[in-house]
C-alpha cells in the first residue's frame, strides 16, 4: 500500500495568517491553482481510494486532484484539522496580529506548553485520533497493494507524519516545520507498518511560502 498524504491548497485565512482549525474556510483561487498543479504532478499515479477531511478546503483539494478519475472520496473526521476553539479566526502574524494571540503562538513556538482554550483540542488528542485513523487504514485488508490519497491539513498532516515516524514527543511536534500548502508526502505500508518514502514533494513552480509566527 502507498499513502499519498497532501495538505490542502491556500485559503484567504492562510494568506491573512488567521487560525482556521474547524472553521470551514474554502480555497481561494491561488489555492485552487496549487491544487491543479499538484493534480498535474500526480497525473500518472493510479489512485484506488481517497480519504479527505470533511472541511471544504481539504475536500476541494482532493476533488481537484481526482478530477476525471473514477475514485471514491470518503470523508473522515480522523484527519480533520485540529480544533483551536476560541483562537479560531485570530490573526497571529503580521501588522494585523491580534494582541490576544500570544497564547496560541505557543502552539508553534513552545508546543509542549500549549494550552487549548474553549473546546480546543490538545496536541496529544490530535496525535491519538490521527494515529487511530492511520492504524485503521494500514490494517484494512481491502486496501493492501492499493494507492490511497489522503487530503488533510497542516497540523493534522504533521500529526500523521509524526505517528509514522514514531515521534510522539509533543515538544518535538514541529521538528520538520509546517507542511506547505499542497505539499505531498508518500508513505509505503509493509505488513501494516507505514514508513516515509518521499517527504514534502512540491509540484508547483512558485516559491514555497513558509509559515512564520510573530
Q: Which of 154, 23, 164 is nearest to 79 (CA)?
A: 154
Query: Would you give the distance in Å from CA 62 to the centre of its chain?
Result: 12
CA distances to 4, 152, 207 from 60, rounded to whole Å, are 16, 11, 22
> Residue 17 CB: number of other CB atoms within 10 A?
18
Residues 6 or more apart whose CB falls under 8 angstroms from that of 17 comprise 91, 92, 93, 94, 97, 211
| From 37, 81, 88, 121, the catalytic residue | 81
Residue 8 annotated to the active site = yes
CB atoms within 10 A of CB 16: 12
The residue from 2, 8, 10, 60 that is catalytic is 8
Specify whether 81 is catalytic.
yes
Residues acting as catalytic residues = 8, 81
Amino acid at each position: 500500500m502507498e499513502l499519498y498524504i497532501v495538505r490542502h491548497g491556500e485559503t484567504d485565512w492562510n494568506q491573512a495568517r488567521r487560525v482556521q482549525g474547524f472553521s470551514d474556510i474554502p480555497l481561494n483561487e491561488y489555492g485552487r491553482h496549487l491544487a491543479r498543479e499538484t493534480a498535474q504532478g500526480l497525473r500518472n499515479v493510479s489512485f484506488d481510494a481517497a480519504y479527505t477531511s470533511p472541511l471544504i478546503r481539504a475536500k476541494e483539494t482532493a476533488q481537484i486532484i481526482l478530477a476525471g478519475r473514477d475514485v471514491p472520496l470518503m470523508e473522515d473526521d480522523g484527519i480533520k484539522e485540529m480544533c483551536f476553539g476560541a483562537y479560531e479566526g485570530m490573526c497571529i502574524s503580521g501588522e494585523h496580529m491580534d494582541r490576544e494571540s500570544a497564547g496560541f503562538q505557543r502552539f508553534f513556538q513552545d508546543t509542549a506548553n500549549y494550552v487549548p482554550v474553549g473546546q480546543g483540542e490538545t496536541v496529544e488528542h490530535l496525535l491519538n485520533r490521527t494515529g487511530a485513523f492511520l492504524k485503521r487504514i494500514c490494517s484494512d485488508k481491502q486496501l493492501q497493494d492499493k494507492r490511497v490519497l489522503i487530503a488533510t491539513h497542516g497540523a493534522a498532516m504533521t500529526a500523521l507524519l509524526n505517528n509514522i515516524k514514531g515521534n510522539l514527543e509533543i515538544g518535538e511536534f514541529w521538528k520538520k516545520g509546517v507542511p506547505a500548502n499542497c505539499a505531498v508526502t508518500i508513505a509505503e505500508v509493509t505488513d501494516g507498518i507505514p514508513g516515509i518514502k518521499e517527504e514534502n514533494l512540491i509540484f508547483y513552480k512558485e516559491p514555497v511560502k513558509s509559515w512564520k509566527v510573530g
